[in-house]
Amino acid sequence: MSIVLIDSGLGGLTVLHEALQELPHERYLFFADNGNVPYGTKPKETVRSCILSAVQELVTEETKALLIACNTATSIAIADLRRLYSIPVIGMEPAVKPAVELNRNTGKRSLVMATPLALKETKYHDLVNRLGDTEHIDSQPMPGLVTLAEELEFDGPRVQAYLQETIGDRDWQEYGTAVLGCTHFSFFRTAFAKFLPPHIELIDGNRGTVRRLQELIRGREEAPDSAAAAGPVVEFRHSGSDPAYRERMEQALDWYRRDRERAGRPRA
């Protein structure tokens, strides 16, 4: 039995990294729909059909749980997926709630960064409205980070120039938290930390999502088989035609693992 994780590309590997830390005895199938990346600048119906057909291909009787490691696809298709599949289906949403809570007693603002499509969706607006603090939450689409991540460019002059162009004009003294509301953006934690003043807390939803996965599969765990007991087993698949993409997935996961080790584990 394996856990299927899906994203448009490399971003979901940052969630896989967290899952490997928390649930090392599971088997994973990681799928990147790189033939269709980016999702975040495409029409909603295109993304819906990409994700539904990917899931249909990947989920079998051997699937223990399905994790949509993509905020954009979650906002478009999670309700359909939960209706269609009886296994646990876990989605992702920008971690706005913890970001707002951290600012609770300071009056500081939160900046939520995500794809243009995720920020347009009703699911995001409902989330923000539910928190009842709309005047302290700002949103910033950052589609260029998806492109840079797909090119394995996680730090360096092009990344810093893009951050300057998109969020360089904000008065960061007004802010306390910044939300990485797209799984590709977690690759840029180090770049953000260099760019932003040190009081800004960067928050992603990866750990919370993996905790939710853990809760939902509890009780379904079998004794680890001998292969899984020796260490996690990950199968990588992708939709694009370039066979070198598989290697790129492994490089990205490895880069992220080393980056997180260097930084120490983030708080959220």
Give the catalytic positions in this structure: 70, 182
Helices of type H across the chain: 13-22, 44-58, 71-84, 96-103, 116-120, 122-131, 144-150, 157-167, 189-195, 206-217, 226-229, 245-263
- Does position 98 bind ligand DGL by CB under 6 A? no
CB 50 within 8 Å of CB 75: no
Residue from 2, 34, 71, 186 in contact with ligand DGL (CB under 6 A): 71
- Does position 91 bind ligand DGL by CB under 6 A? no
Q: Judged by CB under 6 A, which stretch of 48-56, 68-76, 164-172, 243-251 contacts ligand DGL?
A: 68-76
From CA 150, how far away is CA 154, in angstroms rounded?
Answer: 9
Q: Fill in the per-residue mask, 112 to 151: x = in contact with ligand DGL (CB under 6 A), - = not in contact.
A: ---x--x---------------------------x-----
Residue placing its CB nearer to ligand DGL in the complex, 11 or 176: 11
C-alpha angle 43-48-53 in degrees, rounded to nearest 5: 135
- Does position 38 bind ligand DGL by CB under 6 A? yes
Q: Is 246 helix (H, G, I), strand (E, B) or coil?
A: helix
From CA 98, how far away is CA 101, in angstroms rounded?
Answer: 5
From CA 161, how far away is CA 144, in angstroms rounded?
Answer: 11
- Does position 11 bind ligand DGL by CB under 6 A? yes
CB of 125 to ligand DGL, least distance (A): 16
- Does position 249 bind ligand DGL by CB under 6 A? no
Q: Is 244 helix (H, G, I), strand (E, B) or coil?
A: coil
- Does position 110 bind ligand DGL by CB under 6 A? no
Q: Judged by CB under 6 A, which stretch of 69-77, 171-179, 220-228, 254-262 contacts ligand DGL?
A: 69-77
- Does position 40 bind ligand DGL by CB under 6 A? yes
From CA 178, how far away is CA 167, in angstroms rounded?
Answer: 11
CB of 245 to ligand DGL, least distance (A): 14
How much is the CA Rg of the chain, to the nearest whole Å? 18
- Give me the residues that bind ligand DGL (CB under 6 A), please: 7-9, 11, 37-40, 70-72, 115, 118, 146, 182-184
